[in-house]
Amino acid sequence: MINYLKKIKKKYYVLLLLFLLILFLPSKNIKNNSIAVVNIQGVILESKKIIKALDKFSKDDNIKAIVLRINSPGGSVAPSQEIFHKVNDIKSSKVKPIITSVGNVAASGGYYIAIGSDVIVANSGSIVGSIGVIMSYPIAEKFLDNIGINFNTYKSGEFKDSGSPYRQNTENDDEYFNEVVSDLHSQFTKEVSVHRNIDLKYLNNYSKGQIFTGNKAYSIGLIDTVGTFEDALNISKNLANISGDLDIVYPDYEKYSFLNEFISFYNLTFKNYLLPMFLMN
93 in active site: no
Active site residue 160: yes
Q: How far is CA 187 from the centre of its chain?
A: 19
Q: What is the DSSP string of 87-129?
A: HHHHHHHTSS-EEEEEEEEEETHHHHHHTTSSEEEE-TT-EEE
- The C-alpha atoms of residue 126 and residue 128 are separated, in whole angstroms, by 6
Longest dimension (CA), the chain: 72
Catalytic-role residue among 34, 108, 193, 236: 108
Please return the burial class of 11, using the count of CB atoms within 10 Å of its CB with bins 0-12, 13-18 and 19+.
middle
Exactly one of 48, 160, 190, 271 is catalytic; name it: 160
For 214, phi then psi, to 5°, come to -55, -40
Under a CB-based contact definition with an 8 Å cutoff, are residues 70 and 93 in contact? Answer: no
Of the candidates 99, 30, 34, 28, the one whose C-alpha atom is nearest the C-alpha of residue 244 is 34
Q: What is the set of active-site residues?
A: 108, 160
